[in-house]
A = this chain, B = another copy of it.
Amino acid sequence: MSQTNIPYKIYLDENEIPSTWYNVRADMKNKPAPLLNPGTLKPLKADELKPVFCDELIAQELDDTTRDIPIPQEIQDFYKMYRPSPLTHATFLEKALDTPAHIFYKFEGNNTSGSHKLNSAIAQAYYAKKQGLKGVTTETGAGQWGTALSMACAFFGLDCKVFMVKVSYEQKPFRREVMRTYGASVTPSPSETTEIGKKILAAHPGTTGSLGCAISEAVEVATHSEGYRYVLGSVLNQVLLHQSVIGLETQAACRKYGIKPDIIIGCAGGGSNLGGLISPFMGEKLRGEADYHFIAVEPASCPSFTRGRFAYDFCDTGMVCPMAKMYTLGHDFIPSANHAGGLRYHGMSPILSQLYHDGLMEARSVEQTSVFKAAEQFARTEGILPAPESSHAIRVAIDEALKCRETGEEKTIVFGLTGTGYFDMTAYQSYNDGTMTDTIPTDEDLAKGFASLPDVKL
């Protein structure tokens, strides 16, 4: 790699923000399997999805042939608020590691949502507005996606109803207040405002909620309210499409400065960040133009890629959503409560699942204390306090750089830094106090999750 004239932070010009998203499905020989209607077990058609999702987003969800999809001008204008995001040359980290490797990270945390989630939130809000809808509903756990969506809705003057898992609503009030500042209504889930919420409360008085339950409430409100639709921040094909803006900018910055990545690393929960970052590079690989070593990093406590099954499963715990073919631990699988680092989803993006199944990328799982150790080292050398999710990618980037120190190889490593950890200080505290523990599910734990897999033979 020629390192001449590479600044510490590469900021593309405003006019270099991509004007199209990249749809990796167009270049995949083996397309991701279609979503299934859980009743008929037949591929879902656009019309069946219309009561739940916005029309234009359904079209994007189902389109596996159009390679480049134009980004509407209004979304490009919004992107200017916080994009292009910097591709940073981690020279301080390289020095601390004493490695011949060249490390770069694409930082998506310089916006108030604190993560890359805004890239898709603004797109989904735009299409809802364009369709003339009044508002959207969604669920949120710790609140990153809900925050991003509330910012996007405030921008377009859309109503935003967020169902927030009750335990987070009560114990993590800060993101809740960010959402309220952006005008969103935030309801602790389960709530008395929906039929499903009432049922759950009756069956489980005092429950602190779950993401699965919050999804069910959000979908119920969307389908029962005039002018509302449901939106989702990960897993779906449309989300990976919008998030391709991350990879496209990374690709453009690399080309501009002659950076040739050998390894590209991203953390993987539902796959929105990893998919967005690697898509355009994967396209090069699929078309035979270049080769890259892709590494998905997941928590050892929720190891969908590394220990899951490639099978049809429900996207949500409550089984109200369609079924997707993906790497999954079973929709009943819930990671241990002591797992602090996000990335708690039982399944994985169908696109990434197919690519992994086809041997086009590697996956690794890491334990959380080693993740926070990497986070601490990164914070102290590069100045940014990373989100626990992002720190999974940092862990493996450091591991790979240390391997280069052993072998003397000058590999170029690019990883995605999805966001900041300012709302995750409780987890950092347990690390600082030395009380953080790791949990790896036993084979018996996994067997329970797999038992919830639906019996779908196609």
Contact = CB atoms under 8 A, between A and B. Distances in A.
Given A11-B11, A380-B155, A425-B173, A181 B112 contact: no
B154 A432 contact: no
Contacts of A375: 181
Given A8-B14, A9-B80, A181-B376, A174 B422 contact: yes
B151 A81 contact: no
A80 B112 CA distance: 22
A110 interface: yes
A112 B420 contact: yes
Contact of A432 (B9, B180, B379): B180
A112 B385 contact: yes
Copies per complex?
2
A425 B7 contact: no
A173 B385 CA distance: 16
A182 interface: yes
B383 A81 contact: yes
A354 B78 CA distance: 43
Contact of A110 (B110, B183, B381): B110
A251 interface: no
Contacts of A151: 383
A394 to B, nearest CB: 14
B423 A422 contact: yes
A385 B82 CA distance: 13
A115 B178 CA distance: 18
Contacts of A314: none
Contacts of A81: 8, 92, 382-383
A7 B7 CA distance: 20
Interface of A: 7-9, 11, 13-14, 78, 80-82, 92, 110-112, 114, 151, 154-155, 173-174, 177-178, 180-183, 375-376, 379-385, 420, 422-423, 425-426, 428-429, 431-432
14 contacts: A8-B14, A81-B92, A81-B382, A82-B383, A112-B420, A154-B379, A155-B380, A177-B426, A177-B428, A177-B429, A178-B422, A180-B429, A181-B385, A181-B431
